[in-house]
Structure 1
Amino acid sequence: MLALLCGVTNYTGKLIARCQDHPCSVDSKFGPTKKCNPLQTFEDIGESAFGDAGRYFITFVLYTELLGTCGLYFILAGDHLALLFPDYFSPAMFMAITAACILPTTWLADLSALSSIGLVGALSSIALTGVVVYTFLNGGVSDGFAETALVVPETLPLTFGLTSFVFAGHAVFPNIYASMEDKERFPEILDKSYAVVGTAVMLIGTAGYLMYGDQAAEEVTFNLPTGILATTATALIVVNPFAKFALTLSPVARGLERAAGFDIAGSGGKRAGALAARSGLVLGTLYFATSVPCFGIVMALIGSFTTLVVSVIFPSACYLKLYGDELEQSEIYLNYFVVLLGFVCAVSGTAAAVLSLASA
């Protein structure tokens, strides 16, 4: 499943760059960005392919994904802080404390100040993989491995959303491609990035499966034997929400500010409105996180409902719309297969996640 989605999302990532290079010919009420080549954002691609309806649709899906991811950051922080300090507060209270600490970072007009923290977050993810693999190599294999089922059909649909979430970087690919000086290197850089991410998730997934099998927790750090390594892994997880929350929330906040006429870099009422809007978004995602604290199910729901649309279905659909007359028959069939695969996974995964949440 991981290998399939890694290959498919790598392919659709390259399609996004192709779609950005498609010349614009339709006037838009959203301003001159529509006339740019390459197109600057995912919303521009959607509008170029499907008109204003395409822009509205992909904007809704992207913002839903980003806000859901922010909610996941709160759940991660709350769960792991409660694990580190079990005698102090509940996970929900730790989420609230995390929100209070994160809130000032969302008020920054220039997020470049967070770049060093972002680097720490990326390194912490790599280090976490090392901790899990090290535990595996040093005798962490469970005695109950023989009892682990090869396939668990009832949870298979949830797997679609969980695994697709791993490769959910497509929302930022257009901005990266548009800003590159040497755009011809984009496929090469994408392949290298996917090699790193794919290797990490295969290592941590395989090690976790062999060690814990059916007894694997929603977050594998909960399975690690007590000691310095488990504490280190838990602390590393806590770093990520602080490093990534403001960056993840920023596109949604800026879109809201444009619609309302606010400006976080302005002064007076415009800045006050922007601060209030961003604070409201933080509190809203906090409410979501404390209301539905089922990390695995929420992750599967976001992955199925939004990530599969953004990373699998929409790129191929736009590519077919923009280049359909120029494609070989085999490439047309391939992209219809990708769209069909994404649709089946998205519908079944979303339904399974909603049912799981309802019974939680």
Structure 2
Amino acid sequence: MEGEGDKWQQCSEDVALNIPLIAEHEGSQISGNNPSNNVTTSFLKTCFNGLNALSGVGILSVPYALASGGWLSLALLFCIAAAAFYSGILMKRCMEKNSNIKTYPDIGELAFGKIGRLIVSISMYTELYLVSIGFLILEGDNLSNLFPIEEFQVFGLSIGAKKFFVILVAVIILPTIWLDNLSLLSYVSASGVFASGVIILSISWTAAFDGIGVHQKGDIVNWSGIPTAVSLYAFCYCAHPVFPTLYNSMRNKHQFSNVLIVCFILTTAGYASMAIIGYLMFGSKVDSQITLNLPLNKISSRIAIYTTLVNPISKFALMATPITNALKDLLPRTYKNNRVTNMFVSTVLVISTVIVALVVPFFGSLMSLVGAFLSVTASILLPCLCYLRISGSYMKFEFETVTIVVIIFVAIAVGISGTYTSVVEIVQNL
């Protein structure tokens, strides 16, 4: 799919090879707390963290998703949002069943034993790791376009503009990874939420007052582009691996349902608004990132582009927190609560994402594959399956059980069709 290389692009098969070590380690069983879980967070701060996890760079691609599927595909955005919200509620119910559940893999283990933990771990940590890598790629691509610099040599290695900015952004992000409680991290998240609002307002201003207008009519439906649209919409709601971390950080865990309501309503409203405005502005010619269509000679456009660079920086730590917590659980007990050791683990994680971002040559083509396969699996399919098993409702023929089963089959269909389409596009672009 042309243009996807400008997005948060992600792939890495090497990460999955290390997941079984995390899943099978005896210290990763349903027990023990992470340092971040011992700090209570208020309702408002949890909302900021949730909004930051759900919103972000995905807001740049929804106009392209709408252009791929046509106006009727907008209904799919709301359907996916509703399914993702409901699966989030199901995750909360699973956590209420056992107070020892601290992470998403814990839910998988409670439902299906070690196999469940392994499957959830592979899906969760791979997705979060790839998203984190994609953030670095996004920053490198945009900054190198804005500030082209000459290639230079460092210890015999050639460093181009893109590589330089990937490394620079990683250095800027690193201190946010060292924050080991979500109460402090909420202030970083607030900047990401604010950035999303600024992007929407800036692009709206560009449309209304800077001469572009909203004159494009677009297509009613484009059936061939529906799988791509669904994949991109699903990627917008890939924050479920973070939900257990947010839930356990809350001072009043009973309010988590209200947190989900606030977060999903606001983010879906933002996604829908941006999709409509962007499609009306540029029609079928909208790029994979709407900022690539904006005229650089307009102040409002520059504000939107520069603000876009804030989102990945603000979201990286929140996406990486479950991974760092899992890695810390692998440490001997004498080192688990050691501040220096925790900082070292976080630093190694960031360095690994930088290496993959610099080495792997084709991230963009796999973006839709990640959205169709990992996002649908981690955010919709697995929460539904785990809840049916943990609650025992799979043995009852009730309305809710039928609803969950329907969601499962639809998620499987979406995952298969989206994955097939993505693989075909990858093969064509090789």
TM-score of the aligned structures, taking structure 2 as reference length: 0.71
Trace 1:314-353 onto structure 2 (pairs within 5 A).
314-323=382-391, 324=393, 327-353=396-422
Trace 1:1-360 onto structure 2 (pairs within 5 A).
1-22=76-97, 36-37=98-99, 39-86=101-148, 90-107=161-178, 114-138=185-209, 139-141=211-213, 145-146=216-217, 148-226=218-296, 227-261=298-332, 263=335, 266=338, 271=341, 277-290=345-358, 291-292=360-361, 294-295=363-364, 297-323=365-391, 324=393, 327-360=396-429
Whole-angstrom distance in 1 between the partners of 2:428 and 2:388:
39
Whole-angstrom distance in 2 between the partners of 1:330 and 1:130:
42
Whole-angstrom distance in 2 between the partners of 1:281 and 1:18:
31
Cα deviation, residue 217, structure 1: 1.0
Whole-angstrom distance in 2 between the partners of 1:303 and 1:337:
20
- Distance change in 2, residues 1:84/1:48 (3 Å): same
Cα deviation, residue 282, structure 1: 2.5
- Secondary structure of 2:330's match? helix
Deviates more, 1:112-121 or 1:38-47: 112-121
Matched letter for residue 371 of structure 2: G
8 Å CA contact retained: 2:83, 2:407: yes
- Secondary structure of 2:350's match? helix
Whole-angstrom distance in 1 between the partners of 2:258 and 2:176:
33
Whole-angstrom distance in 1 between the partners of 2:351 and 2:384:
35
Whole-angstrom distance in 2 between the partners of 1:264 and 1:101:
25
Whole-angstrom distance in 1 between the partners of 2:252 and 2:321:
26
Cα deviation, residue 231, structure 1: 1.1
Matched letter for residue 266 of structure 1: N
| Number of residue pairs the alignment of both structures matches | 340
- Distance change in 2, residues 1:38/1:281 (3 Å): closer
8 Å CA contact retained: 1:133, 1:203: no
- CA RMSD in angstroms, aligned pairs only: 2.7
- Distance change in 2, residues 1:298/1:134 (3 Å): farther
For 1:174-215, what per-residue CA distance to the aligned partner results, in whole angstroms no more than 9, with x for missing partners?
A: 233344444443333322221110110000011111111221
Cα deviation, residue 8, structure 1: 0.9
For 1:214-270, what per-residue CA distance to the aligned partner results, in whole angstroms no more than 9, with x for missing partners?
A: 211111111112221111111111112222223322321232232254947527xx8
Whole-angstrom distance in 2 between the partners of 1:99 and 1:180:
29
- Secondary structure of 1:98's match? helix
- Distance change in 2, residues 1:64/1:345 (3 Å): same
Identity of aligned residues (%): 28
Matched letter for residue 327 of structure 2: L
Question: Counterpart of 2:64?
Answer: none
8 Å CA contact retained: 1:264, 1:275: no
Matched letter for residue 199 of structure 1: A
Whole-angstrom distance in 2 between the partners of 1:264 and 1:177:
22
Whole-angstrom distance in 1 between the partners of 2:110 and 2:332:
25
Whole-angstrom distance in 2 between the partners of 1:277 and 1:193:
30
Whole-angstrom distance in 2 between the partners of 1:249 and 1:38:
22
Matched letter for residue 81 of structure 1: L
- Secondary structure of 1:141's match? coil
Deviates more, 1:308-317 or 1:247-256: 247-256
8 Å CA contact retained: 2:144, 2:162: yes
Matched letter for residue 197 of structure 1: T
8 Å CA contact retained: 2:133, 2:357: yes
- Distance change in 2, residues 1:160/1:292 (3 Å): farther
8 Å CA contact retained: 2:182, 2:249: no
8 Å CA contact retained: 2:372, 2:418: yes
For 1:133-166, what per-residue CA distance to the aligned partner results, in whole angstroms no more than 9, with x for missing partners?
A: 22233353366x35x4433334322222211121
Structure 2 runs not aligned, ≥5 long: 1-75, 151-159
